[in-house]
Amino acid sequence: MSIQAVNYKMTIDGKEVESKSGERFDRVSPGHNEVVGTYPAGSVEDIDLAVAAARKAFDKGAWPRWSGAARAKALRTVAACIDRDVEKLARIEALESGKPIAQARGEVIATAEIWYYAATLAQHAYGDSHNALGEEYLGVIVREPIGVVGMITPWNFPLLIISQKLPFAIAVGCTAVVKPSQLTPGTTLMLGQYVKEAGIPDGVVNIVSGKGAVGGRISEHPDVDMVTFTGSTEVGKKVMQAAAGTLKKVGLELGGKNPQIIMADADMEAAADAVVFGVYFNQGECCNSGSRILVQRSAAKKFMDIVVEKAKRVPVGDPLDEKVLVGAIASPEQQATIERYVAEGKASGANLVLGGSQINTEIGRYFEPTIFTGVTKDMSIAKEEIFGPVLSVLEFEDVDDAIDIANSTIYGLSSGIWTKNIDDAIKFAKNVRSGTVWVNCWMDGFPEMSFGGFGESGIGRELGRHAIEEFTELKTITIRTGERKNWLS
């Protein structure tokens, strides 16, 4: 098929610009082997210009001094722009990332809802007053925007993930410098147009496309007050190290090896459907992937028969096909990672019961839905993030055993339990170490519900009413009335 490549520009200080070097780079669609976009190759020099613009907009500009109502109105306009361009944005994401077009469409719609929700929070930034400090004192604690926020986002959910950060930061009056992944920058660069259309002042949102060194400059830049990053735990640690030089605040949403617990009394059909969805959604290229399931031993065979049968029917193929549920693998490097973990699973003694190979096609890069049983918690496929369509199945005796296994990784992003026993559900929810716990559902998300991880899955929380607090500092103001007694008298 013939695909027309889109020519994008960056946004710095309210203007659509090329990189200072004039260099550009292309993105070849993982599903079609054609160039689908060409982008400015931003450099450290471009980041410095973007930071200077954001710094000026925060220190001297109007945006932090607008009322919450005025900022809310602007955010709602951005949301409306996203709503208006759902089909355009979904196609960009499907072509750049390889995800199915129907999934991409749903994500764009959800993204608009996040912007609408963040707009409501612009009018709800608040602090505390203390009027019990004695007759002569009034204490006020206010929340103020932290300043310039650097935002570095990954390739798997480009528009959705930047929208878990950007609208909340600017809702409270911050300014931003955004660096999207070099694999999928298109929809993030489109935000620059929407911000302009919404009347948000120049310099408030700056978007620079480019490669890894560009993100590194954001993390270390002395005029950036906070950096928020979504991606691998390994890179997250490097972001934190770079930020330590200026002691800037850091927000990290990192990896996961998320367990679903299947108790013997669970609704087997519903749980099996959720397992298949949870591991193969977005080709498994998802920090929230349910790639590790724990099945109660007495029900394991029955349950896995259902899962395998469902997995065999998952349609894999062209991301632009409305019926496809699993699209293309984003990059050759990610394909190689998946293949390495499959080889490690086989070598460690796990049972490969489905898939395990690249799908041979003339066009595109695809991998079979894969299932390993007989997995033990010490195996790499049980404790490390694969980021591909590979399911690892472990067995357990009772809910206490399940909790121990669930907590046996460095990660703590998400978890879930399927059971009709409320006591088991509550016990698991209270004792598992994860930022999100689902009970009889999986990956059901809402803008109102906070998201983030324990352990090496990250620091801080996105979404929910506390999200704007991540982008604020507390200031204490102590007010004295009447005459102050002279210290020297």
CA distance 52 to 62: 16
DSSP string spanning 369-407?
Answer: -EEEES--TTSHHHHS---SSEEEEEEESSHHHHHHHHT
Q: Where in the chain is the domain with CATH 3.40.309.10?
A: 259-439
* pLDDT of the residue at 489: 67
Would you list the DSSP string of 302-320? Answer: HHHHHHHHHHHT--B--TT
pLDDT of residue 301: 97
In the prediction, which pLDDT does 1 show?
A: 59
- 3-state secondary structure (DSSP) of residue 258: coil
- Tell how strand 390-396 and strand 411-412 pair up: unpaired
Q: Which long-range contacts (CB under 8 A, 24 or more apart) does 368-374 make?
A: 368/316, 369/276, 369/279, 369/280, 369/311, 369/312, 369/314, 369/316, 369/326, 370/342, 371/304, 371/307, 371/308, 371/311, 372/345, 373/304, 374/349, 374/350
CA angle 55, 79, 215 (to 5 degrees): 40
Which member of 93, 287, 456, 462 is catalytic?
287
- Ranges in the chain annotated CATH 3.40.605.10: 6-254+457-475
The CATH number of domain 6-254+457-475, selected from 2.70.98.60, 3.40.50.12780, 3.40.50.2300, 3.40.605.10: 3.40.605.10
pLDDT per residue as tens, the chain (489 positions): 578 899 999 999 999 999 999 999 999 999 999 999 999 999 999 999 999 999 999 999 999 999 999 999 999 999 999 999 999 999 999 999 999 999 999 999 999 999 999 999 999 888 899 988 888 899 999 999 999 999 999 999 999 999 999 999 999 999 999 999 999 999 999 999 999 999 999 999 999 999 877 889 999 999 999 999 999 999 999 999 999 999 999 999 999 999 999 999 999 999 999 999 999 999 999 999 999 999 999 999 999 999 999 999 999 999 999 999 999 999 999 999 999 999 999 999 999 999 999 999 989 999 999 999 999 999 999 999 999 999 999 999 999 999 999 999 999 999 999 999 999 999 999 999 999 999 999 999 999 999 999 999 999 999 999 999 999 999 999 999 888 788 886
Separation CA 256–CA 232 (nearest Å): 9
CATH code: domain 259-439 is: 3.40.309.10
User: What gap in Å lies between CA 471 and CA 450, rounded to an integer?
Assistant: 14
253 is a catalytic site residue? yes
How do beta strands 175-179 and 205-207 pair?
Answer: parallel
Catalytic residue list contains 483: no
Residues 6+ apart with CB under 8 A from 276: 307, 310, 311, 314, 369
3-state DSSP assignment of residue 25: strand
Q: What are phi and psi of 257, to 5 degrees?
A: -135, 80
* Torsion on CA atoms 373, 378, 381, 384, rounded to nearest 10: 150
Which position among 253, 285, 456, 470 bears the catalytic label?
A: 253
Q: What's the pLDDT score for residue 126?
A: 84
Q: CA angle at residue 190 from 70 to 243, to 5 degrees?
A: 80
pLDDT of residue 125: 83
pLDDT for 470: 96
